[in-house]
Amino acid sequence: MAPPKLTLYKCRYCPYAARAVLAMAETQQEHEAVEIDITVPRPDWYLKDINPYGQVPSLKIDDNHIILESLIVAEYIADLHPEVGLLPADPLQRAQARYLIHHWGARTQAAIHRATITLDPVEAAKLRQEVIVELEKVDVLLQNAVRSPSREHGPFFLGSKFTFADLAIAPLLARFFLVTAYQNDITYDEFEETLQENPKLKRFLEWRDAAEFIKGFYRKFLPKAE
Ligand SMILES: N[C@@H](CCC(=O)N[C@@H](CS)C(=O)NCC(=O)O)C(=O)O
């Protein structure tokens, strides 16, 4: 079967589109990338032919089919290249990767988002505390994923290899420093210090730092970058 012709509609500021960008990079999948400006109303052709919701990422396949939603797009790209092993072959590890992504989206990212967008400093401090409680739980999830002695421990979620769970969450980790961006009473470095001093975040920080190259890569596109 001929390899599919792929067109990725993305925006460089979007962490969800970054999942698809990373999947393309990790699998060295040939594709055309089209930058969509999400700061202005989407053009009619995009809403009509590509994505009626107007969001990025979207993937066009063979000038014909369209796939939406970052995780589904990234998983499709990973599935085109099973030899790269982004999605592990082992059913348990696949379930663990999906579980971590689900938990991060439903709980952790939601807590980070609440703390980031609050302008009231007292409320923000309380919500940052809730973020720490959530991250302590993520730390437990990361430890529990590799309980069996035969399993490799870190630095990535499933061991020494960067896989789909890391790929899906890394663009959000890369923007984690924005959690203090709208606050005048605390810098990110001060908040980071409280994370570093917390013994219940050791594994979380090891995992986060393993994604550091992604953080460096994306920071240049973000506010507070210089
Ligand atoms: N659930 C979607 C979320 C994508 C998303 O929120 N994209 C944002 C940019 S980061 C977007 O396109 N926003 C423009 C809009 O909603 O009009 C996914 O995972 O693909």
Rounded CA-CA distance 17/124 in Å is 28
- Nearest ligand 1 atom, CA 70: 20
Domains of the chain (ranges; CATH) run: 6-84 (3.40.30.10), 91-219 (1.20.1050)
Tell me how far the alpha carbon of residue 137 lies from the centroid of ligand 1, in angstroms. 26
Per-residue pLDDT tens digits for 39-91: 999 999 999 999 999 999 999 999 999 999 999 999 999 999 999 999 999 99
pLDDT over 50 at 224, yes or no: no
pLDDT over 60 at 33, yes or no: yes
Q: Whose CA is nearest to atom 19 of ligand 1?
A: 70
pLDDT over 70 at 17, yes or no: yes
The pLDDT assigned to 148 comes to 83
Per-residue pLDDT tens digits for 160-185: 888 999 999 999 998 899 999 999 99
Confidence of residue 219 (pLDDT cuts 50, 70, 90): low
Cα–Cα distances in angstroms (integers) from residue 123 to residues 56, 171, 190, in the given order: 31, 26, 17
Rounded CA-CA distance 62/35 in Å is 19
Residue of 42, 47, 55 with the most ligand 1 atoms within 8 Å of its CB, for mutation: 55
Q: Whose CA is nearest to atom 15 of ligand 1?
A: 55
Q: Whose CA is nearest to atom 11 of ligand 1?
A: 55
Among 26-40, 63-77, 134-148, 200-214, which is the least confidently predicted range? 200-214
Q: Whose CA is nearest to atom 9 of ligand 1?
A: 14
Contact indicator for 16, 73 with CB cutoff of 8 Å: no
Tell me how far the alpha carbon of residue 66 lies from the centroid of ligand 1, in angstroms. 16
Please, which residues bridge with residue 7 across strands? 32, 60
The pLDDT assigned to 152 comes to 83
Residue of 16, 47, 169 with the most ligand 1 atoms within 8 Å of its CB, for mutation: 16
- Nearest ligand 1 atom, CA 55: 12
Q: Mean of the per-residue pLDDT values for the chain?
A: 92
Percent of the chain with pLDDT over 90: 82
The pLDDT assigned to 218 comes to 57
Among 103-112, 129-138, 140-149, 188-197, which is the least confidently predicted range? 140-149
